[in-house]
Structure 1
């Protein structure tokens, strides 16, 4: 299997990114006005405020204002040992906490040089729970997006199906959303007895539901009219702003860190990297971004099935298997600067560590948030859109503010 899939030749500098202008009433042209969308607006999906400059129903500019949650994740991480920070990592993208844990833990393991010593069963369980959480995150993204543009039933259906995943992950970790399940060097605990069988039942159950969802929402004529040719994100703009995940792949670039970096056991698994193709409108529009998320749910189900096959054949549970066997008693990395990244549900999530070699607490920790970069492009793709379409554009980004204001 190839380790890298990039089908685009990019020449830096041919697109000049622009910064949003901070407006004052005296700067407005005749007929313009300033509207505040959020931070209490339900479609902003968190405490996020947009300063929208409109001329009637047409948007002339958008200024996103961040900084309402004050999570202070990075400062928390600089005051605690690496292993005690995992519960705080869960609270970044709380819709896909397993994926965030996976990134953090892999980064610390690489610093310690133990990434190649982990049991295969541990690695496959990590991928299994991460892909289940990716599906759950996409279900929330698609369901709330349909709700944003006026469809209530798909939201209820997807929250119902997501509940099956939440219950399975709660069964494995003891927590419903913030798991602290993936530990440095291993796992909190092995999968419960019967988990694999219950997971197979879920896969068989959700496949026809996902097909039904695709017909009800993605291919729906009204949904297409609301999302096709709306919020078009050209590929050069997406690259210059550092967009990743479904937002970048929706613009036509096959870039997925599970393939590019080939971390964990992903090189041993078969899956495709879906991209936007402009089937209903223009490549990179709101419809493409949502279509990519639906296709990624299908691919994650494939990955879950492959993990289950390995875990129930040559990687069966045994009495002597200890998921905490490689958990270090003391975490003391060498003095270094280190960056680790992986493919979260919303894009590239990365952590920069600076250690002094004397303590298990990092001197500096920096989170590279995929939601922050994806959100930064919103003023570029909103100019010229109608005000009603602005809600559709916000939802297509799939932003979680816990990861933005970190």
Structure 2
């Protein structure tokens, strides 16, 4: 062997013993990472300031302020009935539900809630439940996209499009409807709406079953979401979480039952809660499970409304959906709070009036997305960055409500 070969083997081919470091000798350095607002999983308008140790999350600070809706100040500058287009833009994927809450609150202030015709009430619930399904379809579809599944997103948006066209048919607007008015509705349902709606519910039932098979019961989806981002019930209550985020933690709290508003007491439906079927109660899987099951319950409600509208409270050529709409909205001087069950939780409105004007002195929105988002830091600590996207998506926030 040549001298050069021997030197090469001694320097490069000899396996040396690995150096073993004790934990006290290992050094770590915290990193501050900005995720969003350009990140697809933050949906364009939310920035998460994430403190990490490698891939492990130590803290998350959500930063809002990229929409600047100024909802409250808009509502304090126009009469109550003219603020409905601004209400539409809070949770802009569930505008009918937001309008319903606003209109009911003002009707209660005026003392006319018992004067609303039954046909109007059933139409309100019908369009609100259609919008609830459309909202949940966005939540579930974009959630699948956030963690790597594109097909469910396309399927759900295909079926959501049918709902959007039906609501546009009824209101004249595609997404921001201004349909539910104080004291009534903009229009009665168009002729043939009930029949087409019944056809849609019959079509959607097998599609929902496919949705459960391809997402909720999919073992890859379960591995990504089960036991991840567990929200204990007490923590959910302390943070003021509502909607599927709260019910996913096991509490049967649904304002449609608790407050029994509109015609919901006359309808048969169940309040769905997380049960920890594949993981821990209150995890990411449970929150999505609640949304899917609520779509089934909304279909039940829609079918019952259609039956009432076609048999008991039928279409009448003399029916005026604006018959109870007040000419002037001037409630007594009071502080008043009203609330309703939106797809994302409790949407509440606080009003302060002076009894002299039809413009509120103070209007304040209790936005469910804001409260639900506040618990993100607690859910994310100790998880990996990839899990943060799964946790964030499971909360289902709409930033029009958060930065209102």
- Taking structure 2 as the reference length, the TM-score comes to 0.93
CA offset at residue 46 of structure 1?
A: 3.6
1:121 corresponding residue in structure 2: 119
Q: Tell me how far apart the structure 2 counterparts of residues 276 and 61 of structure 1 sit (CA, whole Å).
A: 26
Question: Secondary structure of 2:114's match?
Answer: coil
1:287 corresponding residue in structure 2: 285
1:153 corresponding residue in structure 2: 151
1:393 corresponding residue in structure 2: 391
CA offset at residue 50 of structure 1?
A: 0.6
1:402 corresponding residue in structure 2: 400
Confirm or deny that 1:163 pairs with 2:168: no
Question: Secondary structure of 2:311's match?
Answer: coil
Is the helix fraction higher in 1 or 2?
2
2:262 corresponding residue in structure 1: 264
Residue 334 (structure 1) aligned to one of 328, 332, 335: 332
2:207 corresponding residue in structure 1: 209
1:19 corresponding residue in structure 2: none
Q: Tell me how far apart the structure 2 counterparts of residues 40 and 90 of structure 1 sit (CA, whole Å).
A: 25
CA offset at residue 44 of structure 1?
A: 0.7
Question: Secondary structure of 1:130's match?
Answer: helix
Question: Secondary structure of 2:149's match?
Answer: coil
- In angstroms, what is the RMSD of aligned CA positions? 0.7
Q: Tell me how far apart the structure 2 counterparts of residues 252 and 384 of structure 1 sit (CA, whole Å).
A: 23
1:20 corresponding residue in structure 2: none
Q: Tell me how far apart the structure 2 counterparts of residues 261 and 52 of structure 1 sit (CA, whole Å).
A: 39
Question: Secondary structure of 1:337's match?
Answer: strand
- Taking structure 1 as the reference length, the TM-score comes to 0.93
Q: Tell me how far apart the structure 1 counterparts of residues 364 and 178 of structure 2 sit (CA, whole Å).
A: 20
State which structure, 1 or 2, has the greater radius of gyration over its C-alpha atoms.
Answer: 2
CA offset at residue 319 of structure 1?
A: 1.2
Residue 110 (structure 1) aligned to one of 101, 108, 111: 108
CA offset at residue 66 of structure 1?
A: 1.1
CA offset at residue 30 of structure 1?
A: 4.1
Question: What runs of 5+ residues in structure 2 fail to find an aligned partner?
Answer: 1-26
Question: Secondary structure of 1:69's match?
Answer: coil
Runs of 4+ in 1 over 6 A off after TM superposition: none
CA offset at residue 176 of structure 1?
A: 0.4
Q: Tell me how far apart the structure 2 counterparts of residues 175 and 258 of structure 1 sit (CA, whole Å).
A: 26
Q: Tell me how far apart the structure 1 counterparts of residues 206 and 121 of structure 2 sit (CA, whole Å).
A: 29
Q: Is the 8 A contact 1:183 1:327 kept in 2?
A: yes
Name the count of aligned residue pairs.
378
Q: Tell me how far apart the structure 2 counterparts of residues 46 and 241 of structure 1 sit (CA, whole Å).
A: 25
1:17 corresponding residue in structure 2: none
1:7-406 to 2 correspondences below 5 Å? 30-406=28-404
Question: What runs of 5+ residues in structure 1 fail to find an aligned partner?
Answer: 1-28
Q: Tell me how far apart the structure 2 counterparts of residues 360 and 156 of structure 1 sit (CA, whole Å).
A: 45
Q: Tell me how far apart the structure 2 counterparts of residues 405 and 113 of structure 1 sit (CA, whole Å).
A: 32
